[in-house]
Amino acid sequence: MARYGMVFDLKRCIGCNACVIGCKQENSLPDGVFFTRTLSEEYGVYPAVNRVYIPTLCNHCEDAPCEKVCPSGATYTRPDGIVMVDPEKCIGCGSCAVACPYDQRSEMKAEAFKDGLFGTGELTDFEKQGYPRYTPGMVTKCDFCSGRVDAGLDPACVVTCPTDARIFGDLDDPNSKPSKLIRERGGKSPLPEKNTRPKVYYID
C-alpha cells in the first residue's frame, strides 16, 4: 500500500497561485474557502531584500491531531495515509480546526451555499454540480484530491503548477520523485516541534 505525500520545492514556486485556483475549481469551493494557499514572506533589509513563497495545504499528518480530537469519528485516515473528512458524520464543532497546528481546516458556512459565489442567492451550474459533496456547516480540508488519486491522477494543484514546485507521490517508495527529493535535498517538515509527523515536506 502506498503512503502518499507531497514535496514543495520553494526554489521553484513563483507565487502565481495557479494551484489555489486549480484546487478551488476541482473541489468547487465556496467563496472564501481555500484548501491550499501560497503564502508570501518578504525578508532582509534594503537593498538586500527577498521574497519567498510558501505553499501550504493539509499535511496529512501520520499522527493527525484533527483525527484524535474529532468527537464524531468524521475525520479518519485511509490506508494510503490520506486524512479524510466524512461529510455525513461531521457535526461542525470545529475541534479539528483548533487542533490543527497548520490552520488548514475550513468552515463550510451554510450561508455560502445559499448565497452562491456571486452573492445573489442563485447558484451557477458549476456550484450546483459541486456543492452536494459537502454538508453545509461542516469543517473540512484538502484530501489530496482523493478521487483523482484513486483514478491514478495527481492532485489538481500538482497538475496545475506551471513550475513543478509541487511533487506528489508515494513516500514509501524509495524511488518515487518525492522520496528522492526529500533524501537528496533534505526535506523539512513544517512545525516539527508539534510532533504531528506531516507527510508534506519543504525543500529549498
Q: Taking Cα atoms as reference points, which of 55, 104, 100 lies closest to residue 204? A: 55
Q: Which is nearer to another protein, 73 or 132 (CB)?
A: 73
Bridge partner list, 45: 48
Q: Taking Cα atoms as reference points, which of 163, 155, 160 lies closest to residue 199? A: 155
List residues binding another protein (CB under 8 A): 17, 32, 37-41, 43-44, 50, 52, 54, 56, 65, 68-74, 89-95, 97-103, 105, 107-110, 135-139, 188, 190-191, 193-195, 202
Q: Which is nearer to another protein, 168 or 201 (CB)?
A: 201
Please, are residues 38 and 22 in contact by the beta-carbon 8 Å criterion?
no
Q: How far is the CB of 173 from another protein (least distance, A)?
A: 26
Q: Which is nearer to another protein, 93 or 117 (CB)?
A: 93
Q: How far is the CB of 38 from another protein (least distance, A)?
A: 6
Q: How far is the CB of 196 from another protein (least distance, A)?
A: 8
Q: Which is nearer to another protein, 44 or 174 (CB)?
A: 44
Q: How far is the CB of 70 from another protein (least distance, A)?
A: 6
Q: How far is the CB of 151 from another protein (least distance, A)?
A: 29
Q: Which is nearer to another protein, 72 or 129 (CB)?
A: 72
* Distance (Å) of CA 29 to CA 51, 82, 99, 192: 28, 19, 22, 29
Q: How far is the CB of 108 from another protein (least distance, A)?
A: 7
> What does the block give as the cell for 178?
518525492
Q: Which is nearer to another protein, 102 or 144 (CB)?
A: 102
DSSP reduced 3-state for 68: helix
Cβ-based neighbour number of residue 123 at 10 Å: 17
What kind and span of H or E run contains 84? strand 83-85
Q: Residues 57, 32, 192, CA angle at the centre, nearest 5°?
A: 25
